[in-house]
Amino acid sequence: MPRIKIAPSILSADLSKVNQEIRDVEKYADLIHVDIMDGIFVPPTTVDSDFVKTIKTKVPLDVHLMVHEPSDSYIKRFIEAGAYSITIHEEACKNPAKQINFIKKNKIKTGISIKPNTQLDKIKKYLDIVDMVLVMTVEPGWAGQKFMQSIMPKVMELRKLKPKLDIEVDGGINPVTARIAYDEGANVFVAGTSIFGKKDRAAAIKEILSALK
Ligand code: DX5
Ligand code: ZN
């Protein structure tokens, strides 16, 4: 299995002082997860590429686009804003290969994500061209929801198919649920509430890491 990575999600951080918030997790985070919501694919809206530009950190930015049919120029803005990886949603794009190929052409990492009710079959044809699959363990759109254990068979099947692929889980991840997902084959763990909801963020990350030992 590829190496374990922890990706604190700034959706649960205080965005009015985002760089200070990121400093709290920088030492232990492998990625900073940035949720982009458009109010169409998911009801809420969040930050945009101009906001992403203001993020100052050496930790790679893992951009999760919960966005309906993102255009090349829209994606490009996040690349210019410093994204390390961009993940699109299978359900949001008519032909996800278009967006995947555009992201790849720009030489950054690319991921595809599926919502809880989307079957793995829908993305099997992309598994050889992406760097990561983001398996949503809650309905996208909100932090603080309960981890859906019923998603785990998808993670297990995916790991069987792709022993070396980064498999990211997102939604309701804490030390207990991270361990459950890890045992099924996930290796990248997004966590919002269970890290930024705590006073001691470093301790919160260490707690997740020690549950994975
Ligand atoms: C939800 C987002 C998640 C969110 C997770 O749509 O994609 O990244 O920040 O938050 P928690 O960890 O609180 O479930
Ligand atoms: Zn996310």
pLDDT at residue 56, as a whole number: 97
Secondary structure (3-state) at 182 = helix
Q: Please, what are the averages of pLDDT over each run of 10 residues along the chain (213 residues)? A: 97 98 97 98 98 98 98 98 98 98 98 98 98 98 98 98 98 98 98 98 98 97
**What is the CA(171)–ligand 1 centre distance, in A?**
5
- Entry pTM: 0.98
What is the count of structural domains for the chain?
1
Which CATH number is 188's domain given? 3.20.20.70
pLDDT at residue 32, as a whole number: 98
pLDDT at residue 193, as a whole number: 98
Range of the domain at 148: 5-211
Strand order in the sheet with 132-136: 5-8, 188-191, 166-170, 132-136, 109-114, 83-89, 61-66, 32-37
Q: Which residues line ligand 1 (CB under 6 A)?
A: 9, 11-12, 33, 35, 64, 138, 140-145, 170-173, 190-194
Tokens 């470093």, located at residue: 202
Name the closest-CA residue to atom 7, ligand 1: 140
Q: Which of 21, 63, 170, 194 to mutate to test the pocket of ligand 1 (most atoms within 8 A of CB)?
A: 170
pLDDT at residue 11, as a whole number: 98
Structure tokens at 79: 């690349």
Tokens 């720009």, located at residue: 106
List the one residue out of 162, 154, 150 whose CA is nearest residue 122. 154
> Could you tell me if 22 and 57 are in contact, meaning their C-beta atoms sit under 8 angstroms apart?
yes
pLDDT at residue 127, as a whole number: 98
pLDDT at residue 182, as a whole number: 98
